[in-house]
Structure 1
Amino acid sequence: MTCQNRSDLGLLALRLGTGAVLAAHGAQKLFGWFGGGGIEATAQGMEAMGFRPGRASAVAAGLAEAGGGALLALGLATPAAGAAVVGEMATAASVHAPNGFFNQSGGAEYPVLLGWAAASLAVMGAGRYSLDHVTCYRLDRPWMVPAALAGSSAAAALIICRRARATAAAQDPKDAGTEG
């Protein structure tokens, strides 16, 4: 087995594992599968965490996870799929960060790891055993990597800032009308 074959098999394994976990989490949010609450419960949870509107936030999070995960597993549009997951996981990590890093205390470890894996796949590409390869990389051009990651990062930063303002306003109602 050549080094290239090993790399392609490693990318396949990483894509399938990461993509399946993400797709399952998205399906929990969107459809209530795998013990998830579905869109209504996710929307309520999003509202409680300061994401408004809750339903739109729940749909966006579910689609980023389910869609991004499925595309990563298939190795299709890998830069865009990875970037969508990176943005969603950055947002999730911002929710968990006040609890520290490690997952056992409710920290950001898990979304950070998923986001890191997705970013790595976006940069490396899906490899030979992928739909990107089959389609001659039509949806995985070199310029797409920085464009997708920059767009996703900007969107995540905006969402995180909006949530921080909403959370601060909820904690101190007298500041609700001020811009920060």
Structure 2
Amino acid sequence: MACYDRRDLGLLLLRLGTGGVLAAHGTQKLFGWFGGHGIKGTGQFMGSIGYEPGRASATAAGLAEAGGGTLVALGLATPAAGAAAAGAMAGAAAVHLPNGFFAMNGGYEHAFTVGMAAAGLAVAGPGRLSLDHAFGNIFNRGWMVPTALAVTGAVTSVVIGMRNQRVRKAAEGEQEPLFEE
């Protein structure tokens, strides 16, 4: 019989909470569950805030959240799952950044907290109460952590940079407004 310690139980709870929140938000985007708007509505919204093309952006964000969140909760492919989820949350935080930190003011608090938890799990690993552990950590090798975080960081930086450039140009009147009247 395996012996589990407080750390394993703590990581399980953190994975379930973080992964569950991410998965729920992702299914709102992908399927319209839990009061979400599905791909079509989320795609229109994503385009309106500078993430173009909107439908592809909604799909990518929904998959990173739903897929990454589910994998984080299960503790499977934890480095890649945590990195993907953290990247999606960085994209969300970029939208809320002008509103400051606190969520009650429309700030980036929620996206930042969930993203940091996902990144922390990617680094710390899922613990022994996980599918990664059950499968001999074949999807949770040490080299996978910096690789997943570096690739996700690079892609996320490019996507957010392109979005910020569109928003800046729209604000300066150099292109069509992002928000439809």
Deviation (angstroms), 1:175: 7.1
CA deviation string 1:49-88 (max 9, x = no partner): 0010000000000000000000000000000000001111
CA deviation string 1:91-147 (max 9, x = no partner): 110100100000000000000000110011001100001000011000000000000
Residue 62 (1) aligns with residue 62 (2): yes
Aligned counterpart, 2:168: 168
TM-score with structure 1 length normalisation? Answer: 0.94
1:87 and 1:18 map into 2 onto residues whose CA distance is: 14
Deviation (angstroms), 1:171: 2.0
1:174 and 1:65 map into 2 onto residues whose CA distance is: 33
Counterpart of 1:24, as a letter, is A
Aligned counterpart, 1:92: 92
Identity rate, percent: 60
Total equivalences in the alignment = 174
Runs of 4+ in 1 over 6 A off after TM superposition: none
Q: 1:174 to 1:49 in 2, by over 3 A?
A: closer
SS at match of 1:128: coil
Deviation (angstroms), 1:173: 3.5
Aligned counterpart, 2:17: 17
Deviation (angstroms), 1:26: 0.2
Aligned counterpart, 1:155: 155
SS at match of 2:5: helix
Aligned counterpart, 1:115: 115
Q: 1:142 to 1:173 in 2, by over 3 A?
A: same
Aligned counterpart, 1:34: 34
1:169 and 1:18 map into 2 onto residues whose CA distance is: 35
TM-score with structure 2 length normalisation? Answer: 0.93
CA RMSD across the alignment: 1.4
Aligned counterpart, 1:74: 74
